[in-house]
Chain A
Amino acid sequence: MRGVVLEGSSTEEDSIIPMPGINLDGAPHREPLIIIEPSDRLRAHLQELWNYRELWYFFAWRDIKVRYKQTVIGASWAIIQPVLTMIVFTVIFGRLADVPSEGVPYPIFAFTALLPWQFFATSLVRAVTSVVASSALITKVYFPRLLLPFSAPACGTVDFSIAFTILLAMMVWFGIEPTWRILTVPLFFLAAAVTAVAAGLWLSALNAKYRDIGLALPFVVQVWMFASPVAYPVSLLKGDWRLLYSLNPMVGIIEGFRWAILGRRHLDVALLVPAAILILALFAGGLVYFRRVERTLPDVI
């Protein structure tokens, strides 16, 4: 009966006795569970993300389980990578270049920074490549695509925890006593994860369309590391440079780590505030941008 409107035959419509729960359009009167439209609402979107929290867990679980499959030494890689890097840094920067290390032995000075850095770097790479790596899923099944970059840091968490035990052992070896500050480590760890996801939101969406992002990524990560105080102390930078430098969120995070573990005298708040604001802005913008691209993903990927 829908669509057939006879001019002047109003009796047609009048004679229909409205049935409970049905409007004349043919659609039931109750609330639809899902509305499919060219544009969606942010609230429904976030609700959906919450409904799918179990899938977030499964993505994380899968990545962790698969990470060291078919390797001989398995999770030992989580130790070998930062330890070898530390040795190389100690020889090149600590000995040959004689980079100062603020009164602590260079190996532990470098290792304290390498932990958050490597966690951040692997999380970032995973987040950026997550969407393209899951293109088969994206074109075949529905789930909130945000889960992909969001689940990226999970994998590095395990590596981080394993390597952290080495750090504790080194603290004992070098005779560095832990203070209450070590309890703030999770905070800086979380900041590193959020930074990785924030950048990942932008770059993974862009990477879906332009694979250039993925190709440039290893180079960007390398440059980013040297732009962060991993191999050298912040105190090497003086004056105006510091403000520009503090715009790199990893500066504050790495400095925070050193402050929490090595017991440096004070934490430069001037380094933290711009970074925190930047991270949150990047994250919020990334959410909006990702959501916009998300809707066209199966068409462009």
Chain B
Amino acid sequence: MSDIVIHAQNLSKQYTIGTLRRRGMSLGDHLEERLKFLFPRRVGAQPRTDTIWALKDVSFDIKRGEAVGVIGRNGAGKSTLLKILARIVTPTTGRAELYGRPGSLLEVGTGFHPELTGRDNIYLSGAILGMKKQEVSRKFDEIVAFSEIEQFLETPVKRYSSGMYVRLAFAVAAHLETEILLVDEVLAVGDGAFQAKCLSKMASTVAEGRTVFFVSHNLEAVQSLCPRALLVRQGQVAVDGTAQEAVQEYLTYLTATSSSAFAENPERSGNGKVRLTGVRIVTTSSLATTNLVAGDPAVFEFTYENPVGAESCRLAFTIFNQLGIAATNCDTTIANGALHRLSESGTFRCVIPNLPLPIGQYRLAATLESEGHISDSVPNALVFNVASSTFFPSGRSPQMRYCSCMVLHQWEHEPV
């Protein structure tokens, strides 16, 4: 309790849904809105709820040098919380006290100007993130070295490849030396090697004793970087404990709510031409279950509806393990081409003869594509367990830390 740097007390944020919809509305729209009272409402029309609480009574304390992860579904309020602490949006009620200079990284490349050179953008972006010119000058060489773009320093960034752009942008952000660092998902960019570099930079930030507040969907990153995590659910802190506890509770929560994955799922996206209506896993006994046995056959069944009569589609799903790592991916175009002759509704089946997943908890994300466009994408379509294994004769499975998918193999020994 001795050294608190963030003290949040009953933070709440209310949004008027009307206001959200009124983005960039014109004066005419506004007048119309104002004059609506002149006209009687349609009989039987539902009075609509006008406000939502994106965040409600959130309180917590964060000590100096703590790394705290924030997890939760999209729309749960984690970004709103971050934006309040970053002073981008103001809370409707409540109060937070920061005992240190905050720096926020909500996006990679904030304030970059495409016409300016890499060198100019380092200074500009640094200033926008809150660094002093002197500070940027002092770290200039370090930033350039980290970004690996030395020879393009005098080139306008609009000529950069997206990889170079991201590397330079992150390099500037990574050298922001504020006492409190508020980070949102910036690690979701760049190639694998660069992501690893970013993660290790974050880890060293934590090791330096700075306070990190890290919002992410990457459960593995949260678990490896942050000893503590908050699970945000419907605008409230549902769990404030170890990262392990929060992730466990999050996955359990996903399991409990995955039945609604297809009804009103705020994370669902796509043009809706072909839509998934359900996912289930069927085992040998042809019963639907969410407790699977590794090594046994598993059939993933996707029911769909096709209201506009699309001809063909592509279906792909990815299975993520409880660490947030993609364990495997099944894609019609990779395994056997697109699915043709769709009817008005039906079922796609994907048969996995011997399930190679190690024991643990999994999440399935499915994407349907028709005519080259994503028509339905459900990131949390289903959560299931692999409870036991017959994959290896021993009945055991490797630990998830070392293995995302099991490979059949045999050992031989040849003594000299």
Contact = CB atoms under 8 A, between A and B. Distances in A.
B99 A137 contact: no
Nearest to A137: B111
B190 to A, nearest CB: 18
B116 interface: yes
B127 interface: yes
Contacts of B91: 36-38
A96 to B, nearest CB: 39
> Which of A32, A33, A36, A142 has its CB near the most chain B CB atoms (within 10 A)?
A36
Interface stretch (B81-89, B235-243, B377-385): B81-89
Contacts, number: 125
Interface stretch (A62-70, A99-107, A153-161, A219-227): A62-70
Given A34-B97, A34-B98, A295 B90 contact: yes
A226 B197 CA distance: 60
> Which of B19, B26, B89, B129 has its CB near the most chain A CB atoms (within 10 A)?
B89
B4 interface: yes
A55 B24 CA distance: 27
B330 to A, nearest CB: 36
B199 to A, nearest CB: 22
Interface string A202-216: 000000011110000
A28 B4 contact: yes
> Which of A28, A37, A143, A295 has its CB near the most chain B CB atoms (within 10 A)?
A28
Interface stretch (B100-108, B310-318, B396-404): B100-108
Interface string B106-138: 110011010110001001100111101100000
Contacts of B4: 26-28
A250 B102 CA distance: 43
Contacts of A28: 3-4, 7, 99
Interface string A50-73: 000011001001100110011000
A97 interface: no
B193 interface: no
A36 B95 CA distance: 6
A266 interface: no
Interface string A17-48: 00101100011101011111110000000000
A201 to B, nearest CB: 19
B127 A54 contact: yes
Contacts of A61: 124
Contact of A38 (B86, B90, B99, B133): B90
Interface residues of B, number: 56
Interface residues of A, number: 41
B127 A33 contact: no
Contact of A300 (B19, B83, B86): B19
B116 A65 contact: yes
Contact of A142 (B22, B28, B88, B156): B88
B93 interface: yes
A141 interface: yes
A148 B140 CA distance: 26
B349 interface: no
A22 B115 CA distance: 51
A212 B26 contact: yes
Contacts of A33: 98-101
A30 B104 CA distance: 23
A137 B98 contact: no
B142 interface: no
A28 B71 CA distance: 27
B206 interface: no
Nearest to A56: B127
Contact of A140 (B25, B102, B110): B110
A298 B99 contact: no
Nearest to B111: A137
Interface of B: 1-4, 7, 11, 15, 19-20, 22-28, 30, 61, 83-102, 104, 106-107, 110-111, 113, 115-116, 120, 123-124, 127-130, 132-133, 156
30 contacts: A19-B1, A21-B2, A33-B100, A34-B102, A35-B97, A36-B84, A36-B96, A36-B98, A37-B95, A38-B93, A55-B127, A58-B128, A62-B120, A66-B113, A66-B115, A69-B156, A137-B111, A139-B88, A141-B86, A141-B111, A142-B86, A143-B128, A210-B27, A211-B24, A212-B28, A298-B89, A299-B19, A300-B19, A300-B22, A301-B23
Interface of A: 19, 21-22, 26-28, 30, 32-38, 54-55, 58, 61-62, 65-66, 69-70, 136-143, 209-212, 295-296, 298-301
